[in-house]
Amino acid sequence: MSGNPPDKRRRILDAAVTVFAQHGFYTAKVSQIAKEAGVADGTIYLYFKNKEDILIQVFIDAMDEILKRQEAALAQQTDPVQRLRTFITTHFAAVAESRAMAEVITVELRQSSKFMRDTDMKPFGQYLGMIARIVDDGVKAGLFADAVDSRLIARAIFGAVDELALEWAMSDRIASLVEAGNHVADLFLQGLARRAPPADPTQVG
Amino acid sequence: MSGNPPDKRRRILDAAVTVFAQHGFYTAKVSQIAKEAGVADGTIYLYFKNKEDILIQVFIDAMDEILKRQEAALAQQTDPVQRLRTFITTHFAAVAESRAMAEVITVELRQSSKFMRDTDMKPFGQYLGMIARIVDDGVKAGLFADAVDSRLIARAIFGAVDELALEWAMSDRIASLVEAGNHVADLFLQGLARRAPPADPTQVG
Amino acid sequence: MSGNPPDKRRRILDAAVTVFAQHGFYTAKVSQIAKEAGVADGTIYLYFKNKEDILIQVFIDAMDEILKRQEAALAQQTDPVQRLRTFITTHFAAVAESRAMAEVITVELRQSSKFMRDTDMKPFGQYLGMIARIVDDGVKAGLFADAVDSRLIARAIFGAVDELALEWAMSDRIASLVEAGNHVADLFLQGLARRAPPADPTQVG
Amino acid sequence: MSGNPPDKRRRILDAAVTVFAQHGFYTAKVSQIAKEAGVADGTIYLYFKNKEDILIQVFIDAMDEILKRQEAALAQQTDPVQRLRTFITTHFAAVAESRAMAEVITVELRQSSKFMRDTDMKPFGQYLGMIARIVDDGVKAGLFADAVDSRLIARAIFGAVDELALEWAMSDRIASLVEAGNHVADLFLQGLARRAPPADPTQVG
DNA sequence: TATGAATGAGGTTTCATTCAT
DNA sequence: TATGAATGAAACCTCATTCAT
pLDDT given for residue A196 in this prediction: 59
Tell me which chain A residues have a C-beta less than 8 angstroms from the C-beta of B106. 110
Note the Cα D158 to chain centre separation in Å: 8
C12-22: pLDDT as tens digits: 999 999 999 99
Q: Which residue has the higher pLDDT, C196 or B74?
A: B74
Q: Is the CB of D39 under 7 A from strand E?
A: yes
Instruction: Output the distance from B109 CA to F16 C1' rounded to whole Å.
Output: 21
- The yes-or-no verdict on residue D147 having pLDDT over 90 is no
Residue C182: CB partners within 8 Å, gap ≥ 6?
Answer: C85, C89
Q: What is the mean pLDDT of residues D123-135?
A: 92
Name the band, by pLDDT with cuts 50, 70 and 90, for residue D6: low
| Chains adjacent to D (≥3 CB pairs closer than 8 angstroms) | C
> Alpha helix (H) ranges present in A48-143?
51-74, 80-97, 99-103, 109-116, 122-140
Q: Which nucleotide is nearest to C4 (CA to C1')?
A: F1
Q: Is the CB of A27 under 7 A from strand F?
A: no
- Determine what percent of chain A falls in helix, strand and coil, rounding each to the nearest 5: 70, 0, 25
Cα angle C166, C172, C174; round to 5: 70
Q: Is the CB of D31 under 7 A from strand F?
A: yes
Q: What is the mean pLDDT of residues D80-87?
A: 97
pLDDT given for residue D5 in this prediction: 52
- Do residue C107 and residue D107 have CB atoms under 8 angstroms apart? no
Q: What is the pTM of this model?
A: 0.89
- The yes-or-no verdict on residue B46 having pLDDT over 90 is yes
Lowest mean pLDDT among B4-13, B193-202, D36-45, D116-125: B193-202
- Does any CB of chain D come closer than 8 Å to the CB of residue C189? yes
Q: Where are the domains of chain B?
A: 1-48, 58-192
pLDDT given for residue A205 in this prediction: 39
Nearest to D156 among C24, C184, C203 (CB): C184
Q: Are D129 and D65 in contact (CB under 8 A)?
A: no
- The yes-or-no verdict on residue D196 having pLDDT over 70 is no
* CATH topology for the D59-192 domain: Tetracycline Repressor; domain 2 (1.10.357)
Task: Choose among A201, A194, A189: nearest CA to A160.
Answer: A189
Q: Which residue has the higher pLDDT, B54 or B99?
A: B54
Residue A164: CB partners within 8 Å, gap ≥ 6?
Answer: A92, A174, A177, A180, A184, B152, B155, B156, B159
Name the band, by pLDDT with cuts 50, 70 and 90, for residue B104: confident
CB atoms within 10 A of CB C49: 10
- Does any CB of chain A come closer than 8 Å to the CB of residue B188? yes
Q: Are A131 and A124 in contact (CB under 8 A)?
A: no
pLDDT given for residue C136 in this prediction: 96
Task: Choose among D157, D141, D155, D142: nearest CA to D191.
Answer: D157
* CATH topology for the C58-192 domain: Tetracycline Repressor; domain 2 (1.10.357)
pLDDT given for residue D159 in this prediction: 94
- Flag residues of chain C having pLDDT under 50: 1-3, 198, 201, 204-205
B120-175: pLDDT as tens digits: 667 888 999 999 999 999 999 999 998 789 999 999 999 999 999 988 888 888 88
- Which architecture, in CATH terms, is A1-48? Orthogonal Bundle (1.10)
Q: Are B188 and B144 in contact (CB under 8 A)?
A: no
D150-170 and C150-170 helices, crossing angle to 10°: 120
D83 φ, ψ (degrees, to nearest 5): -65, -40
> Alpha helix (H) ranges present in chain B?
8-23, 30-37, 41-47, 51-74, 80-97, 99-103, 109-116, 122-140, 150-170, 177-192
Task: Choose among D151, D163, D182: nearest CA to D81.
Answer: D182
C50 vs B73: CA distance, rounded Å: 76
* Strand residues in C109-191 grouped as ranges (E): none
A108-154: pLDDT as tens digits: 766 665 555 556 667 888 999 999 999 999 999 999 998 789 999 99
Instruction: Output the distance from D33 CA to F7 C1' rounded to whole Å.
Output: 30
Q: Are D174 and D123 in contact (CB under 8 A)?
A: no
Q: Are A23 and B114 in contact (CB under 8 A)?
A: yes
pLDDT given for residue D200 in this prediction: 53
Q: Is the CB of D41 under 7 A from strand F?
A: yes
| Chain D 142-161 residues whose Cβ is under 7 Å from strand F | none
- Flag residues of chain A having pLDDT under 50: 1-3, 198, 200-201, 203-205
A147 φ, ψ (degrees, to nearest 5): 60, 25
Distance from CA of A120 to the nearest CA of B (A): 16
Nearest CA in chain D to C117: D170
pLDDT given for residue B105 in this prediction: 79
Name the band, by pLDDT with cuts 50, 70 and 90, for residue D118: low
Lowest mean pLDDT among B57-71, B95-109, D21-35: B95-109
pLDDT given for residue B157 in this prediction: 97
The per-residue pLDDT of chain A, averaged, comes to 87
Taken in order A125, A127, A133, A139, the sign of the CA dihedral is: negative
pLDDT given for residue A148 in this prediction: 82
Q: Are A9 and A16 in contact (CB under 8 A)?
A: no
Name the band, by pLDDT with cuts 50, 70 and 90, for residue B205: very low
pLDDT given for residue A99 in this prediction: 84
pLDDT given for residue A114 in this prediction: 58
